[in-house]
Copies of this chain bind each other. A is one copy, B any other.
Amino acid sequence: MKILDIREIAVPIKSDIRNAYIDFSQMTVSALAVITDVVRDGKRVVGFGFNSNGRYAPSGLLRDRFMPRLLAADPHSLVDDTGANFDPFKIWNIVMRNEKPGGHGERSVAVGVLDMAIWDAVAKIAGVPLYRLLADRFRGGVADAKVFVYAAGGYYYPEKSLSALQEEMQGYIDLGYSVVKIKIGGAQLAEDLRRIESVLKVLKSGDQLAVDANGRFDLETAIAYAHALEPYQLRWYEEAGDPLDYELQAELAGHYQGPMATGENLFSVQDARNLIRYAGMRSNRDVLQFDCALSYGLVEYLRILDMLKEYGWSARRCIPHGGHQLSLNIAAGLGLGGNESYPGIFQPFGGFADNTPVENSYIALPDIPGIGFESKKELFRLLKTLSDN
């Protein structure tokens, strides 16, 4: 059992959207294929991976360091003790050899891409969907039949009117979502409140709407927003300040009783642990959004879940950023609280299996081996170009 080749391409995901921090017009994604010599259903098993949105394609890091290390490894060192499958943990250690501690950015994305492809291959070799494999290995066989998903959108499109924003949100409702999210902080507070109120008009209650500042606020602004947002009783108030400013987050907790959410820009178990240690996050209401595809992959995410357990947090408090199928599998297999979704954007990477309806903001997973990319036609068309020939 061995890895025959690893192939990577960087793909643009051009979009005219922007959040409070960046615009996405130059954003790229690494798509990667791990070609194995294992045959299932008459074909070679290929594992696919890609990085989540918000960070750039880590092509150089993959090509200069991580792909060569894996390709140079003794094939026996990549296989689990049964000899029947690859071992994502052993592979992770090989890939991270000769990397110093600290500095968890960019390389965490590169390793995340590779790790996604490895888990896809491992589940395909096992002949089961990844959520089933995870439930069997780590949760006594219990998998959730469906996963909570919410529709993240409400970006600041150039010239977008309030009625266009309402239409966008109504579109998500029509798709079956009952919880939606919009950006704040890219405009003044008064305008953001108008945006919020216009969206609330198409919803039944405040807890159907989350708002996301993308880390833009200083403490004073974060508190001003907190006071203004509190009466709406929103689903959550997300990433008010810089993701590493735990003191701001802890201080803000004294000014906002409703749920808060953060974590999408913390890319290691060490950073996640510091959030839990120092940011005053409340395990009975707050939401943790660590995204494995930006954070050294599922191998590291399992460490994060272990750490959370140690600190008395339920995995149900985790609703990962990113809107990709790997986190959806993790949510179903390991019992997370849900997963982000970006209907229609970050295509073809964002979103889940084709023809699986969202009902009351819950979605089921396809019953095919692996992460399920083959059930997402436009994505698979792109990924397949990596494994053809």
Task: Report which A residues bind B (CB closer than 8 A).
Answer: 10, 21-23, 26, 28, 54-61, 63-65, 97-108, 214-215, 242-247, 265-268, 270-271, 273-274, 277-278, 294
Contacts and interface: CB of A to CB of B under 8 A. Distances in A.
Nearest to A107: B106
B105 A244 contact: no
Count this chain's copies in the assembly: 2
Contacts of A270: 242, 244-245
B55 A103 contact: yes
A100 B59 contact: no
B247 A271 contact: no
Contacts of A214: 100
Given A22-B99, A103-B105, 16 more contacts: A22-B97, A22-B98, A55-B103, A56-B65, A59-B64, A100-B265, A101-B244, A102-B243, A102-B266, A103-B267, A104-B104, A105-B105, A242-B270, A244-B274, A246-B278, A277-B278
A99 B27 CA distance: 10
A265 B61 contact: no
A272 to B, nearest CB: 10
Contact of A105 (B21, B108, B266): B108
Given A64-B57, A106-B107, A243 B21 contact: no
A246 to B, nearest CB: 7
A214 to B, nearest CB: 8
A98 B64 contact: no
A290 to B, nearest CB: 11
B56 A21 contact: no
Given A56-B65, A64-B56, A246 B266 contact: no
Contacts of A64: 10, 28, 56-57, 59-60
A273 to B, nearest CB: 8
Contacts of A107: 105-106
A294 to B, nearest CB: 8
Contact of A265 (B63, B102, B244, B246): B102
A21 B101 contact: yes
A99 B215 CA distance: 12
Nearest to A215: B101
A245 to B, nearest CB: 6
Contacts of A105: 102-108
Contacts of A26: 98
A246 B60 CA distance: 31
Contacts of A21: 100-101
Contacts of A106: 61, 103, 105-107
In order of increasing CB-CB distance, the 4 nearest A-B pairs are: A60-B60, A103-B105, A102-B265, A106-B106
Contact of A100 (B54, B63, B100, B277): B54
Given A105-B103, A106-B107, A98 B23 contact: yes
A23 B99 CA distance: 9
